[in-house]
Amino acid sequence: MPTTRELHLRAMEFMDEALYVTKPSLRAEDLQLENFRVERLFSRALEFEASAADSVSNRFELEPTRSILHRGVASLALRVGEVEAAKRYIAAAFQGSPPLEIQQELNELHNQVLMREALTKRSRKPSTSRTTTGQTLVKETINKYTAQIPLDIRGMVTAFGLALYRGSLGQNRGLLERNLKKGGFSGYLIVVNAAYPVEDQRVAAAHELSHYLKDRDRFTDRLVDNRMYSSELDTRVEEEADKVALFWLVPGKHLARIRKEVGYDNAQELARIFKIPVQEMKIRIGQIPRRIRWSEI
């Protein structure tokens, strides 16, 4: 029978194989195949790590090894969307006496699990999708980040489980991609065009986050928005993403107050305060009706 160490090392071998860097491909079908490969390897790693943790589940004297193994199982389970398994192993880890540092990591992991569960359509239990304040966890997170200006868009993206990168996208504004190797705990990442000004990057990140929260079932593993924020999705869907992104970046409760201070129609100063392009601010305050896309020209 394999020892605990042997089981753990076998799990790490599958992890290493899953994270092995393959040549990037622009083809969506290649990305799908790569995600399938990685998910299969993560699942195999999870099997062995769970066996390793189970082998010491009643050995409470083996801290911190016991809690570290349980934390590893929960982390792997989260990666492959096994939310219930993740919760079980986090709870089991706390049954022992994990060191303070491990406790903090387990608490953070638990929060990530709750967010992943809240964002999963199959989750319908009020206890897992609502906070003690009665708000949904998603809504509470949005409220937390929109309470301050300028919006910490990187923090908000990370809180929802996505990784945020700046990269070379040609003329495209942003990209939303399911990427189990480089994504956050949701398995997704956002890339914004590094060649554009920071203000444009902020709008692009918010736009792609809106797509993740509302539209990730409408595409396969990759969604690219061009410089007019047009994509494979319907124009109405893109318009909704525009609207949501600008409402996050320029919350109405702050906008009304600041307009009184700097001038009702002072789009340039408002854009500076909220750190978005002037053109986007003009859309937000109604000086421009809406963005015109290539498909409409």
Supply 36's token pair: 């399938």
How much is the pLDDT for 133?
A: 47
Q: Which of 115, 107, 90, 84 is nearest to 188 (CA)?
A: 115
CA angle, residues 168, 174, 180, in degrees to nearest 5: 85
Burial label for 217, CB within 10 Å (0-12, 13-18, 19+), is exposed
How much is the pLDDT for 127?
A: 43
Q: What is the DSSP-derived secondary structure letter of residue 228?
A: T
Q: pLDDT tens string for the chain (297 positions)?
A: 899 999 999 999 999 999 886 656 556 678 888 889 999 999 999 999 999 999 999 999 999 999 999 999 999 999 999 999 999 999 999 999 999 999 999 999 999 999 999 988 533 444 445 555 446 899 999 999 999 999 999 999 999 999 999 999 988 889 999 999 999 999 999 999 999 999 999 999 999 999 999 988 877 777 887 665 666 677 888 889 999 999 999 999 999 999 999 998 999 999 999 999 999 999 999 998 776 544 443
How much is the pLDDT for 218?
A: 79
User: The tokens 């070379």 sit on which residue?
Assistant: 168
Sheet with strand 174-178: strands edge to edge: 162-167, 188-193, 174-178, 222-225
Q: Residues 73, 89: contact at Cβ < 8 Å?
A: yes
3-state SS track over 2-38: CCHHHHHHHHHHHHHHHCCCCCCCCCHHHHHHHHHHH
